[in-house]
Amino acid sequence: MTISGISANDPISLSGNDTTSKLDKDSFMKLLVNQMKNQDPMEPADNTQMIAQLAQFSSLEQMETLNQNIVGLAVLQQQNALLNQLTTSSALIGKSVQYVDPTSQEEQWGTVQAVKIVDGLASLSIDGKDVPLANVGEIGTPPAATDTGTDTQADGVEDTGAGS
């Protein structure tokens, strides 16, 4: 068995979840301070280099602030979407709706009694069942009951279809 050598041209890869390689503004500031402390007194760092590094630090801080603002905006939009769902759904309370039953997948009609948010989505309580808002297909009056197949004459006597 032969083990090949390592050369400078071999690719370098890091494996695993190395979280220490993450640099934030505190790490950047520590690097800058250590660089200033340990510089050669006979050849101090150039002023333009120091100004460029401070500008990079300032830019890093601004990007971090912008990132925090974007995260805050995303959370606010999510909360607004939940509030919008709740407001829209609450208008259905007391109304008859046609929906697809989440368990049987059958279309049914029922009356909305309550609304709640479950896992970030509006859920309607229809005749004791929790139904996602997305399962509602129609709002209005349920269709009339279907004919049972027997014909009742005006005199109240059932017609069975047999001859007299």
- For 107-159, the pLDDT digits (tens) are 999 999 999 888 888 889 998 889 988 888 888 888 875 555 555 555 555 55
pLDDT at 14: 47
Instruction: Classify 152 in phi/psi space as left (phi over 0), alpha (psi -120 to 50) or beta.
Output: beta
The first and second tokens of residue 87, run together, are: 């407001």
Length, in residues, of the chain: 164
CB 115 within 8 A of CB 93: yes
What is the C-alpha to C-alpha distance for residues 164 and 154, in angstroms, rounded to an integer? 17
Tell whether the model's pLDDT for residue 164 goes beyond 50: no
Mean pLDDT over 18-26 rounds to 61
Choose among 149, 83, 150, 154: nearest CA to 120. 83
Side chain identity at residue 129, one-letter code: K
pLDDT in tens, 40-86: 777 777 778 778 877 887 888 899 899 999 999 999 998 898 888 88
